[in-house]
Structure 1
Amino acid sequence: MTEQLSPGDVAPDFTLPDADGGSVTLSEYRGSPVVVYFYPAAGTPGCTKEACDFRDNLADLEGAGFAVLGISPDKPGKLAEFRDSEGLTFPLLSDPDRAVMSQWGAYGEKNNYGKIVQGVIRSTFVVDAEGKIQQAKYNVKATGHVDRLRREIGV
């Protein structure tokens, strides 16, 4: 099992390609809080629901100063299709070798319908303006967790 992050830990920095082939570096967001979420696969029902929940709540999150970054193992082209088909307006980042997911504890053993498999662990993190983990949520549900997150961070 990959080691999980906890509140107070320094968020591991990363630079990943976005849906358009550019790059996004977490430390570029220093000075503002960021929600970083990891999801298994663009375009699947649960991941679509989760991404659309972030999309639908983005104005409130941004209004409170939060940026949102979504990370999956999908290649940039698939992320662009997903973004365009769902009208997503926040960066989707590609981690095909799952190195960043592993650093964040969002890749490893998980229970998938009663079977233990290796895979992406649906996870959401709040990184504060200084680059430290404020919240680390593992094994979140695709449905309803954005509302719960908003309540917990007061948005």
Structure 2
Amino acid sequence: MSSEPSLRLARTTLPALLSTPAAARSFLRRTLAAWGLDPHRDTAELVMSELVTNAVKATPHPAPPHADLRDAPLVTVELRATAHVLRICVEDTAPGHPTLRTAPTDAETGRGLFLVAALSTRWNTTPTPTGGKSTWAELALAGSEHAGPLPGSAVPRG
């Protein structure tokens, strides 16, 4: 895949707040429309929502009496696309790595990574130099179910 010349890249940084998944989905919709990838929007939005929600939940926040939007930790969302693969990457400042866990059947949460794993061709988490992590998922674009990974991809977790 590294021989593919048309790598597209878009990135935004958002505060790690409860409203961040909606803002990330909006960024994704605008970007995919500009890239002509609207047919992949629904799956990409679901994967993006799960990755961003996990990042926001995992990120430590300042104590409420001193909370200020300017002090909110940040989440970085990056989209990369070639003719065959769309990669959604979410970076946060929280230590640790998300893991697939079995949620009780009556639980309302806890299935996000199962969705990510089911909808993506591969996903993984890599540590960042600042002690946080970068969690990413790759989606095969139309007609490319057997496409190779984007540069920097690794074997999927779980």
Fold similarity call, TM over 0.5 = no
TM-score by length of 1: 0.29
TM-score by length of 2: 0.29
